[in-house]
Amino acid sequence: MKNRLKILRAERDWSQQDLAERLEVSRQSVNAIETGKYDPSLPLAFRIADLFGLPIEAIFLKEG
Amino acid sequence: MAANPAQRRYVGRMIPISIAYVAAVMLASWIIPDDAAATPLTVAVALVPALATSGFIWAMARFVTELTDEYVRMLEIRKMLVATGLTLALASGWGILELFTDVPKVPLFFVFPVWCLGLAVGSLVNKLTIGDAGSCA
């Protein structure tokens, strides 16, 4: 699944580590989600959405 | 990757269990003579190290359930699945060989160590397919 995590993070000048600490996950997880290697669970997707103050569909995009 | 709390607790459990395992194996070797008959006493003494191996399995189960990072937990579960598949395949394959040929009998004791080696293969599979190996726990 594609996502806008890297852009949203860059807009706030956060490193992957900064985002990981805010989400209480590892930097490894943030990197895996950001690069599309791993799709987060719905609860984690909601935490990400809440953190950025956006709906989930504004962050995670359907392929194609 | 820095150790997370679940990893620290895992190591904290594995160290005393490992010490207990080594002590139990040494005790069993000292008390039970070679080729001893299976009496209630010898069986009871020989099963003490098995309690420790059950402790290893319990510590691994706790480790997985205590991991709060879902991605890291997925990596660990994948490692365990690879280890389990590999162990079942090897045990079944060798078992069939033992049924039909005169290959040496492999003691069941080796199932758990083979599974542990399978975790290393699981790490390699994770690294090759996802790019992250998972913890070394």
Q: pLDDT tens digit string along B45-61?
A: 989 999 999 999 999 99
Structural domain contains residue A64: no
The band of A64, judged by pLDDT with boundaries at 50, 70 and 90, is low
pLDDT at A8: 95
The CATH number of whichever domain residue A35 belongs to comes to 1.10.260.40
Range of the domain at A50: 2-59
The total number of structural domains that make up chain A:
1
pLDDT of residue B137: 55
| pLDDT for residue B36 | 86
Helix B5-31 to helix B40-66 angle (10° resolution) is: 170
Q: Enumerate the domain spans of chain B.
A: 1-68, 69-137
* Separation CA B60–CA B112 (nearest Å): 13
Distance from CA of B69 to the nearest CA of A (A): 5
Q: Is residue A18 part of a domain?
A: yes
Q: How many CB pairs under 8 A join A and B?
A: 34
Identify the pLDDT of residue B4: 83
Q: How far is CA B70 from the centre of its chain?
A: 23
What b/e sequence results for B92-106 when a residue is b if at least 16 CB atoms lie within 10 Å of its CB, and e otherwise? eebeeeeeeeeeeee
Instruction: Work out the mean pLDDT of chain B and round it to a whole number.
Output: 91
By C-alpha distance, which of B21, A1, B124 is closest to B132?
B124
Summarised one tens digit per residue, pLDDT across range A10-60 is 999 999 999 999 999 999 999 999 999 999 999 999 999 999 999 999 999
Are the CB atoms for A51 and B95 separated by under 8 Å?
no
Strands (E), chain B: none
Residues of chain B with pLDDT under 50: 1
Instruction: Establish if A23 belongs to a structural domain.
Output: yes
User: Tokens in use for B84?
Assistant: 């389990």
Confidence at residue B1, expressed as pLDDT on a 0 to 100 scale: 47
Residues in A closer than 8 angstroms to B71, CB to CB, are: 25-26, 28-29, 32-33, 38, 40
Look up the ipTM and state it. 0.90
Examine residue A9 and state whether it is found in any structural domain, yes or no. yes
Contact B70 A33 (CB under 8 A): no
pLDDT of residue A58: 93
Contact check, Cβ <8 Å, A25/B74: no
User: What are the Cα distances from residue A56, in Å, to A38, A47, B15, B69?
Assistant: 16, 9, 43, 20
Neighbours of B45 (CB within 10 A): 18
Q: What string of DSSP letters covers A15-55?
A: -HHHHHHHHTS-HHHHHHHHTTS-PPPHHHHHHHHHHHTS-
Rounded-to-5 percentages of helix, strand, coil across chain B: 80, 0, 20
